[in-house]
Structure 1
Amino acid sequence: MTLPKGKDFLPPAPLRSGHIQTMLSSSGVRRMLLPKAAQTVLQGSEPMMVDGGDGVRLTGAYTAQKTHPRSRGLAVLFHGWEGSVDSTYVLQTGSRLLGDGWDVFRLNFRDHGDSHHLNEALFHSCRIDEVVHALGDIAQRFPNRPMALAGFSLGGNFALRAAMQAPAAGLPLSYALAVCPIIDPGEGLFSLEGQAPWFYQAYFMHKWRRSLQAKQAAFPHQQYFELAELKQNLRGLTASLVARHTNFASLEAYLDGYSVAGRALADMHVPCTILTARDDPVIPVAAFEKLDLPANVELDISPYGGHCGFIRGWNMTSFTDDYIAARFNAIVP
């Protein structure tokens, strides 16, 4: 079977801008224009609480497939930073996999979706242990089937790190796929500050501040940040997060803590695919080109797609749906 490749993605000329692809990927316009089939994963979806270990509670949603006599396996989906299990790209991918006979579990990271009230400590990007523990809980609830994992942006970074830890954690993970994952967080932070247009940082900061306000409302006895700190830019507020809410000695040490750059994935034992776009304005492509990867990790760089866009046309469907489904289906005998 021939699997789709990034080079196969060729959108119509007006959609060949990485900025347009990126802006459309999370826009309300896209959600309105998508066909109803892109939200079928919501039908019969069961909300669930999963165990992140040490008292941590994470939320998610499980949808059992009904199109095949037997499930192909369990597909677990990770959203991006300040996304959720109901992000457009998660629903779209989940609906595509559901139609192909996969049971689908969509996991919220801590403080994402409507889960701010569940855990007093704040989310940060180095909380990989609770995500791996949650995957173990999910695997125990839905045993005896292959598990495949896909993540987007920061969720792609989490997916790669979870795959690295999977063998030691006893996870029955057969495959992982990361779409436009954060590779070198330090370089990515610099790119958002110094190279990407201003509105990308403004967009992320608006969503992050709104999330922090929800957290503060859920735990009014806590003071997570001073008002002056909340007015800082992305670098400044991240540095305050590190100083107040982590054990890392510096911002740089924290960013290194979730980096998968260079040789970080060299000892990966789970088969993986990394899909990105050369015109991604958020995650610089140079970080991908510097990766030192083993033979079982496929790096696929598309000329087009922006950041987690890959929008094929004016119906707003995404090339990544077929791309992910084809690779997930290929792991099932």
Structure 2
Amino acid sequence: MGGSEYAPPFWLRNPHLQTALGSSQWRRRRGAQALAATGAVTTEHLVDGGEGVRLHGLHSVVPDRAPRGLVLLLHGWEGSSESSYMRQTAAQMLALGYAVFRLNFRDHGDSHHLNEAIFHSNRIDEVVHAAVDIAARFDPRPMLAAGYSLGGNFALRLALRAPAAGLQLAGIAAVCPVIDPARTMLQMEVAHHQLYLRHFERTWRASLRRKRDLFPDHLDVDDATLSLGLRDLTDWLVRTHTEFGTLDDYFDGYSVAGDRLSSLQVPVDILMAADDPVIPLDAFHALALPAHARLEISRWGGHCGFLLDRHLDGFAERWVAARLDVHADAARTASERTRLATAVHAGAGAQSG
């Protein structure tokens, strides 16, 4: 574990200001401008999540330039492929010569109509399946992934499952990932953090209403249920739309706390802000990480903010790009060494024959 070089100006050292500005419409527009400036061509795709599941995503590549690899980006809960950090990170990776695929989780972005069953945070299997499909379609060499908040949690679980799925990942970067979901819920329920609780309640209710309008026979939920607070509404989700018996079991299902990341085979970098108002810091200090996993904790940054200046340029997106580029270079070097060793071995075998 190490510190971070991120040091914003004094007026940007309030975590709530960082969090609010980081997800503002102004910053989304800045991200769109940054993407446009790369000259990349972006196309929509439906990818295979397995068992009939379809997920939507955006593939971006600069024309007439062979990509140096492919980066899969994962957004946070109630975010989308068009979230500000997704656009800004895509722009950074495109500028470095990579292709980018921004995946929407089920029921995020404009994808509610694609699947009858609703989203929940334990749907990791379909994200792994989609990643394998993306790898097969675009033949990335190397392939990398990054995620923010809940997307960071998904990215870490993707890294854990990648070897068994036959998915070759050169590296992962996660910014303010959800580590312990139960503790995260408690953190938002603290009185001075309830602004975030209300935000997620409002956006999730709107998502569920949209889903109900599309699939009224499958999602039979009344307005009284939708008016429940976040904990009670999540409990309803667990009891009626998952195989988990209790809220605690549901949270434990996607937790990566304690030693759950100790078996990681993929190189991982994690960036966390000590003043994050949403994600509890102590869960990061309790992580048991392998030697090829690196945790950076910044004094400032809020929740996925890490803004640098009045233009709302971001440190986190640059950090993700730099870390993934290092992992890609290491993968290319290892691949070249393997190729040379194979060639030498084949030559020696031919001479002995």
The answer to whether the aligner puts 1:26 opposite 2:23 as a matched pair is yes
Q: TM-score, normalised by structure 2?
A: 0.89
Aligned CA distance change for structure 1 residues 218 and 126 (closer, same or farther; 3 Å): same
Q: Structure 2: how far apart are the matches of 1:262 and 1:196?
A: 27
Partner Cα separation in structure 2 for residue 72 and residue 195 of structure 1 = 47
Please report how far the alpha carbon of residue 325 of structure 1 lies from its aligned counterpart in structure 2 after TM superposition: 1.3
More displaced 10-residue stretch of structure 1: 159-168 or 136-145: 136-145
Gaps of 5+ in 1: none
Cα separation, 2, equivalents of 1:42 and 1:192: 40
Q: Aligned-pair RMSD on alpha carbons?
A: 1.6
1:309 pairs with 2:309: no
For the pair shown, which has the larger CA radius of gyration, 1 or 2?
2
Higher relative contact order (CA 8 A, sep 6+): 1
TM-score normalized with structure 1 length: 0.95
Report if aligned partners of 2:113, 2:211 keep a CA contact under 8 Å in 1. yes
Aligned with residue 167 of structure 1, among 163, 170, 175: 163
The one-letter code of the counterpart of 1:242 is V
Structure-1 separation of matches of 2:230 and 2:215: 23
Listed as ranges, the matches of 1:96-175 within 5 Å are 96-175=92-171
Q: Distance in 1 between matches of 2:194 and 2:224?
A: 21
Cα distance in 2 between the residues matched to 1:320 and 1:221: 42
Which stretch of structure 1 is more off in the superposition, 22-31 or 273-282? 22-31
2:255 equivalent to 1:287: no
Q: CA separation in 2, counterparts of 1:91 and 1:52?
A: 23
- Offset at residue 7 of structure 1 (A): 2.2
- Give the conservation status (yes or no) of the 8 Å contact 1:42–1:63: no
8 Å CA contact 1:66–1:101 kept in 2: the answer is no
1:324 is displaced (CA, Å) by: 1.1
| Cα distance in structure 1, aligned partners of 2:197 and 2:210 | 20
The unaligned stretches of length 5 or more in structure 2 are: 333-353
> Secondary structure, in 3 states, of the residue corresponding to 2:206?
helix
Other structure's SS at 1:45 match: strand
Structure 1 equivalent of residue 195 of structure 2:
199
Matched residue type, 1:12: P
Supply the AA of the counterpart residue of 1:292.
A
- Greater CA drift, 170-179 or 196-205: 196-205
The CA deviation string for residues 113-144 of structure 1, in whole angstroms up to 9 with x for no partner, is 11101110010000000000000000000115
In 2: Cα distance, 1:151 partner to 1:315 partner: 23
Q: Establish whether residue 259 from structure 1 lines up as the match of residue 292 from structure 2.
A: no
C-alpha contact (below 8 Å) 2:278/2:303 kept by paired residues:
yes
Residue-pair matches, total: 328
One-letter identity of the residue aligned with 2:184: G
Correspondent of 1:49 among 36, 46, 55: 46
Which structure 1 residue ranges, 4+ long, deviate > 6 Å from structure 2?
A: none
**Deviation of the 1:296 alpha carbon:** 1.1
Q: Deviation at 1:197? A: 2.2
What SS does the corresponding residue of 1:309 show, helix, strand or coil?
coil
Alignment match, 2:326? 330
Q: Distance in 2 between matches of 1:18 and 1:178?
A: 19
Partner of 1:59: 56
Structure with more of its chain in helix, by fraction: 2
Q: What does the per-residue CA deviation read over 1:25-47, in whole Å, with 9 as the maximum and x for residues that have no partner?
A: 11123334568225547952100
Q: Return the alpha-carbon distance in structure 2 between the equivalents of residues 197 and 77 of structure 1.
A: 27
